[in-house]
């Protein structure tokens, strides 16, 4: 549980609303870390457009279009109503910090604040 009382319920809501509710931006620090780690699988989804604070993510490597809907790294737990992050140990900083507040959680019907 985070200091602000948030506890992830693994509902996957935050990872299902990319481009619909929230635009995810990865930082140069995220990109450098993935390069050091040899994570070409993740780097393939980093957009070329530079925004304030970083790069658009995820961007479909086949089309160059922003992904709208579920993150390509979201994984459903078989037979259970739970979801896991396929890149949890090295996920973008924006993902680590989301939701930043109760209002962000409420906007996507996240139950992490109880």
Position 27 pLDDT exceeds 90:
yes
Residue 18 has a pLDDT of 75
Position 52 pLDDT exceeds 90:
no
Cα–Cα dist 85/61, whole Å: 19
Name 69's bridge partners: 18
Q: Contact at 8 Å (CB) between 24 and 73?
A: no
Residue 26 has a pLDDT of 94
Position 60 pLDDT exceeds 80:
yes
- Give the single-character DSSP code of 59: B
> What is the overall mean pLDDT for the chain?
91
Position 23 pLDDT exceeds 90:
no
Instruction: Write the CB contacts of 31 (distance below 8 Å, at least 6 apart in sequence).
Output: 43, 46, 54, 55
Mean pLDDT over residues 18-43, rounded?
91
Mean pLDDT over residues 36-52, rounded?
91
Cα–Cα dist 37/39, whole Å: 5
pLDDT band, residue 34 (cuts 50/70/90): very high
Q: Contact at 8 Å (CB) between 111 and 9?
A: yes
């Amino acid at each position: 549980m985070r200091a602000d009382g948030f506890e992830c319920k693994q509902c996957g809501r935050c990872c299902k609303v990319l481009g619909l509710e929230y635009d995810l931006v990865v930082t140069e620090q995220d990109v450098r870390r993935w390069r050091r780690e040899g994570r070409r699988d993740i780097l393939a989804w980093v957009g070329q457009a530079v925004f304030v604070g970083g790069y658009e993510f995820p961007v479909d490597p086949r089309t160059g279009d922003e992904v709208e809907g579920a993150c390509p790294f979201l994984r459903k737990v078989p037979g259970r109503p739970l979801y896991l992050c396929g890149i949890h140990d090295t996920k973008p900083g924006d993902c680590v910090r989301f939701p930043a507040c109760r209002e962000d959680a409420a906007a996507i019907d996240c139950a992490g604040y109880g």
